[in-house]
Chain A
Amino acid sequence: MQFIARAINALNEFVGRYSSYLILPLIGVVSYEVLMRYGFNAPTAWAFEMTVFIYGVHYMLALAYAHKHDGHVAIDIFESRLPKTPRTLLRIIANLVLFIPTIGLLTVWSFIYFNTAWGMSERASSSWAPLIYPYKFIMAVGFLLLLLQGLAKLIEDIRSLRSSAES
């Protein structure tokens, strides 16, 4: 099981590090639109949607990375005072009861949502009218990576519980 956790960690580390650079094209596109509109009085048809899409991809792909580094806010004032074993046990239960069902269902349904958009080649209702499904696909992938990261944490917690039970 450990190699699964390691593989997920490596995947999310990779995706998180490289997708974080999307902030640079995001700055670029918004600045370009400002320049074209005020500098040349020639607003683009695509910058507005492009901005939104880049940002969506940016944060959806970072969700799992943040979870890997315990970056999501939690009220851990009570939990952090527990001894190690009950704390690990509590984390495992919360993961099984809250995280995996919720994020699991969101993942499955966002793939269904993507599939619908793909099937009908859905386009945005704007003059630029880009295809929507690639972005819905990324949203689903973002939830999937988050789900995988939760599984990796579950595997690690179970192992740490086992090793502390043995010693």
Chain B
Amino acid sequence: MKFVQFNLSLLHIISFLFRLVISAFAIYILYSNLNYFTHYWYITFGIVYWIIFLLCFYKSSKTKSRIRFINDYLFIMLILYGKDYLKLDNFFFLLLPILNSYNHSYVKSTGFTLFLYVFPICFLLFGTNINFFEIIIPFITLYIINTFFSIRKLSYDIYDAFNDMAEKFQLNETQIGKTYKLLQNFIKIHKKESWLNTISSIENMICFKIEDNKLFLVNSNKIIVNWRIENEQNFINELHEKKYIKDIKVEIDDWNIGYNMVYRIKHNVNTYCFLMTYEKKPINFLYSIYCNKILFPVLNKISKIITTEFELAKRRRVLYDQIKNRLEYIDISTSAIHLLNNKLELTSLYYQLSEELKTLEVSTEKYNEIEALKEQVFKDAKYNFDIAMKRIQKVMENEFNPYSTNNFESKKLNELFIFIRNSIQLQSVKEINLRINYKWQDISNITTKINLPFFEFIIEEIILNVNKYAKSQLTVEFSKDENGYFIMFSNDMKTLDQSGLISLNKIITEFNSQNMSEILRRGVRGTRILKQYLIQLNFEHKIELTDTYNIKIWIKHEKDSNF
């Protein structure tokens, strides 16, 4: 009974329920009609029917779905055999597979759909006195109506398949920058459905972006080296007015382009156009349905993904520039240190000569010679010292220093809350509770000036510090007191031994001290840097040790601050 363990999808459940319905209907038919076979035979038919069905139930394949379909009809025919097929309930029993065809996986099999109708037609043709046309015409009508439903369902299925693929694509980080794969996969999905390929035999898809009235190639399903659109300017102007243009004159590498369509898709401020080339001329009537139900939603989705990728690329660029600035700064600093080393050579020589003259026993002539040289070294050393100092000042100037804490930006308090929430989520520390003790609306209009990278550093350092003394929990609380808005980081203090408590109290005293030079001289490295940045960023701060260990930082909102 392996099937019980199967992960039943909705289709599986419907398929199973449908067989239950057939079985229940069969029992009703057997009770409401005179039967041709004995009860034992019908029980045997039922058992065989279910065994075959269950064997073909899991891991659907084309063959298995066809077996299921034939199994259904054989069972129905055996139940109905020898009965009046034209009796209303019996007739409905015969039509059950057709009525359920919307849910059948086998209706997607091209050509096989017809068999759905062939079985009952043959059954009626050979089992009743009704003439051929009386049977065939209602069934053809039913077939046509069912086909419409099938097309609609398949349209949704194709869009769903694409959507599913696009979502997986977006979630997979390794796919970043590979949106051409979306185009390739859409064409693949397209080619898989032969009826779809008949309507619209897409061969290639190329995506352009319209920017400053110019076309830029974004991506395509195949690599493109050269491309040219005849009267590009006119084409762009026309595209601004129309949603699509048919059969434009375009040259792409050595491609042989026949039928083609260009669609304009707008997403936010971005305008894209998709050029599709076709093997055959698209079928006009069905093509517009296809466009609305499949193509446009898909192109919209692709445009959204491309826009997101553009935005990501822009952010990466900003990040890269920041890293570049920092590397340049490190490089400037390193070369400055080397230069200082060289420039201080003469100063060092001057002192060494002075020392040597004191200790070495040399002739007066040599002494005078060294003294004269020392004088020259002194002058040259002074000159070099001035150069060195200028270089030091240049390195120290804030405008060249990407690590400067002087780059402030205005941030709303609620933005800071979100920033801290995101920041603490990335920290691999104990359980963190986040609380806010004032109304969200109250802080949505209050701004503070802050240097975000350094603020993030401060938050990380504080959390690491509070975490160090925590038993199992950390709390980050946004509150307000008479001194203004503050953020409090606290913990459920773990038990410390006597020496641990003494050193913690020492850290707290140093941290809360106003004597910065004392802290810089003696403080523990982590707290010292933290304190230094808190002062530079103008945060009032305090550590309290009660039942809990709390670090509080007060945020000055703009009207209070000295910025």
B is a partner of A:
no
User: Residues on A close to B: CB < 8 A?
Assistant: none
